[in-house]
Amino acid sequence: MYAETETEISQAHLKQVIECIEGPIVILGGWAVQFLVNEGYREVTGRNYLGSRDIDLGFYMKGQNVDDTPFAKAYSALVNDLGFRPLSFRLFKEMHAETGEPLDMETARNLPSHQIFHIYVDMVLDRIPENFRERFGFTPIDEPLLAHVFAEEGRHLEREEFGKTIWIPTADILLAMKVRALPDRDKEHKRIKDVCDIAALTLFGSMPGEEGWLEELIGKEDIDRFKEVLTREDIERASEIIAIEPVAVEGALTRIGLV
């Protein structure tokens, strides 16, 4: 789905990010999905699951002064130590798409766009403190489902990656985040990637056995919004990308009430 060089560059920077920031380090998004499903997916398909182009990190803000939070420390480390630059609510670097070498602003300005790969870090909060924009100058992404990961036992998995312990939300939480995000995607490739990830999490992740768990997590309105925008073509394209038959992808979505 993505060029191998792009996911390799992203993974190399994921390693740098994990090594640079303090815990708990919560990985979200595509890399979290890859960590969760890759073993089972590889057993079935003989290949690794999709990597990601972006890096998504989760932070817990409840009851903390915004200046004395893991978020503030991580933001400072990414900008000052790793050289990421702010762009609205994201951090980014410009890399040479072929060599993977970082580009300074002047060099990037003189290269054609197809030779530049932008790597983004999205720092996601469980809630937005009142003084956040005043302190940091932007409004961040907030995802209330993150509160489950930090506050409830059994809502995250711990594993060793790049010499650090990282937290990964359980498959049901990751899937719920993807379902909520998909209707607002303005880029087609991100929407299709979400469908791939949702199918993979359902097929190869550990999901609750009881009915109605997804609606309990995010509500009927978010599920209905997902159903309204999902198309047959989305399912077929996701099926082709992850090399799983369309009937299996559709069946996975049907089992959790998304089709």
In sequence order, the 6+-apart residues with CB closer than 8 A to the CB of 92 are 84, 85, 118, 119, 120, 121
Q: pLDDT of 164-188, one tens digit each?
A: 999 999 999 999 999 999 999 988 9
Q: Tell me which of 116-125, 139-148, 209-218 is least confident.
A: 209-218
Task: Locate 45 and state its tokens.
Answer: 């398909």
| Token couple for 229 | 């925008």
Specify the residue for token string 């951090």: 91
Q: What is the pLDDT of residue 50?
A: 97
* pLDDT recorded at residue 5: 86
Look at residue 41 and tell me whether its pLDDT is greater than 80.
Answer: yes
pLDDT category at 242 given cuts 50, 70, 90 is very high
Report whether pLDDT(20) > 80.
Answer: yes
State the pLDDT at residue 94: 96
For 101, 111, 115, 118, 121, the CA distances from 108, given in Å and listed in that order, are: 11, 5, 9, 10, 19
Q: Do the beta carbons of residue 157 and residue 20 sit within 8 Å?
A: no
Q: Which residues make Cβ contacts (< 8 Å) with residue 135, sequence separation at least 6?
A: 66, 67
- Nearest Cα to 96, choosing from 112, 84, 80, 85? 112
Q: What is the pLDDT of residue 23?
A: 83
Q: For the whole model, what pTM was predicted?
A: 0.94
Average pLDDT over residues 117-123: 96
Distance CA 61, CA 64 (A): 6
Q: Which two tokens stand for residue 210?
A: 């009881």
Residue 250 scores a pLDDT above 90? yes
Please compute, for residue 126, the number of CA atoms within 13 A of its CA located in the half-sphere on the CB side.
Answer: 18
Q: Is the pLDDT of residue 63 over 80?
A: no
The answer, yes or no, to whether the previous bond of 102 is cis (omega within 30 of 0) is no
Label residue 149 by pLDDT band (50, 70, 90): very high
Paired tokens of 6? 């792009």
Q: At what angle do helices 171-181 and 29-45 cross, to 10 degrees?
A: 120
Residue 191 has a pLDDT of 95
pLDDT above 90: residue 73: yes
Kindly report the backbone phi and psi dihedral angles of residue 5, in degrees, each rounded to the nearest multiple of 5, phi listed first. Answer: -65, -35
CA 160 to chain centre: 18
Query: Is the per-residue pLDDT at 64 higher than 80?
Result: no
Q: Which of 30, 27, 20 is nearest to 53 (CA)?
A: 30
pLDDT score for 81: 97
H/E element, 183: none
